[in-house]
Structure formats: structure tokens, C-alpha cells
Structure 1
Amino acid sequence: MSVSTPTASPHGHVGKCPVTVTFSAKVRLKVRGKATVAYRWLRGDGSRSAVKTRTVKGRGVKTVTVAEKATFTKSVKGWQALQLLSPRKVTTKKAYFEVSCRRPVKPAPGRPGPGKPGHGKIPAFVKAFVHVPDYTGVCPRRAASRPRA
């Protein structure tokens, strides 16, 4: 038996709320006739879902997708993990997610908005911090910076 690490979809949301996030994971197991998978979802806030079951019928290796949906009305960061209770107890790694509820930005008075003439001409600024390890050695010369003879 194996269990995939859950995924959160969307794992990052910025925009209007409420928003629904779907958590899902795949359980792969050998089945000889009939098998029952019992599971629950563990959450970053300390709560957990009710125990749920899925019955799988047939022969051979089968894959079952289990899922849970959660709707958020305000900004939140968190995680969920799947805990299998049977046929064997297993807890997966965490699926992290973030919801940022924001209202649409209205253009400032006197500035053009989306779809209006002049929109997109306001320069965008980005601030980034980059760590570059110390370099020792000769700096290569670019062909364009060499003086011509």
C-alpha cells in the first residue's frame, strides 16, 4: 500500500473570497475481492475531519483518490495531511496552502485603469534580494567592451 502526498488546489489564492480549496491524495493498494480504506484529514489548526471510508472491489492493484473541500472567507495560511487508519495506519506529509483575500484594486484618481488609454504606461518597480556566493578568479571580458585596434 502507498499514499501520495496530498495536493491543495489552488495552493495559493490571491483575490476575492470566499474561495474553495480542494485537498486530494491517492491511495494505492492491493485488493483481493473487497477492501475498505478508512481515513481522516488532519489540519494545521489542530482540528481533524470525521473518519470517512471508501470501499474498493475487484482484484489487483487499485488506486483510490480521496478528497476534501474547504471554503475560506478570510485570509489564511495552513496545511492538511491525510491520515489513513486502515488497512494500515499511515500519515502523509503536509499539503501547504495560502489564501489572501483582497479586493480588486481601483486606479487612483487621474490615473488610467485597465482597458483605458494610457494603461500599462505606469512603470512597475520590483525589489529583490539576491545572494551571490563570493567569486574568486578572473572576470571574463565581454567582446563588446573591448577596445578595437
Structure 2
Amino acid sequence: MITLIRTNSEDENFKKLVSKLDEDLAIRDGDEHDFYHQFNGLDTIKHVVVAYNGKLPLGCGAIKKYDTAAAEVKRMYTAPESRGKGIATKILAELELWAKELSFQKCILETGLKQPEAIQLYKKNGYKIIPNYGQYAAAENSVCFEKTVK
């Protein structure tokens, strides 16, 4: 049984999962990793969800305020051995609910063209592609999405 726990970026299991995410992204992004990595600091993240099977952390995700209307989905990751079981969809749904509870109208996010699994996840969960926003506006390998949560 999968259990979702709301926490924050100080959570040790979240930090361990994010470390594995960063290792994966460094390989996928190659020379572009430093550009993307600069936008993924944990110090500004206060709303984190970690998925567990018993005491074993399987995946994570987070939201942070982008502007008054939008929460930005960050640091989505599922351990490779736990993929394909709907865990990321459960985490994403919990993040969307939390964003709604915090009075955001939508969730936005950025992912990379080199992460086709992530692109499929977001499309499957009702996210629509939007023009690249903010720091990703000129990033050719970025794909940005949004979904209304109100």
C-alpha cells in the first residue's frame, strides 16, 4: 500500500530522493545540467510530498509559489524500481490538491525534452503545453505545462 506524507524540504527521505533525481538529470541533461540545476534549490520549497511503501520512500514531488495564481511543481521523482505503478500520478494529485488548498488556481511546471516519461505523465494527468515561462523562455530543451486546479 502506498502512503503519501506531506512534509517540507528538510525531510531526509526527500533529500535522498532528490539526490537520486539530480544524478539522473545530470546524465540526461549533459552539458545543460548546470543551467537547469540552478533553478532547483531546496531552500525555497516548503510543500513536499513523499510516497512510501511502509517505511521505504519510493518517490517525491513538491510545489512552490510561482506567483499569486500559480504553484510550480518541482522535484518530481520516482525510484526506477517503483516506476510504472502509478506512484507519480498519486504524488501529482496530492500536490494539486495541496495547491488548491493554498488558494492557487493552477499548477505550472517545466520538464525537459530528454525526459519523455515525464512529458507522458503530465499529459496523461491533464496538463497542457504552454509557452515556456520565466527562466525557461529561451531554453530549447524545455517543455512547460499548466493545469487548472481550482
Q: TM-score range by the shorter chain?
A: under 0.3
Greater fraction of residues in helix: 2
Higher normalized contact order (CA 8 Å, seq sep 6+, divided by chain length) = 1
TM-score normalised by L of structure 1: 0.24
More strand by share: 1
- How does the TM-score come out when normalised to structure 2? 0.24
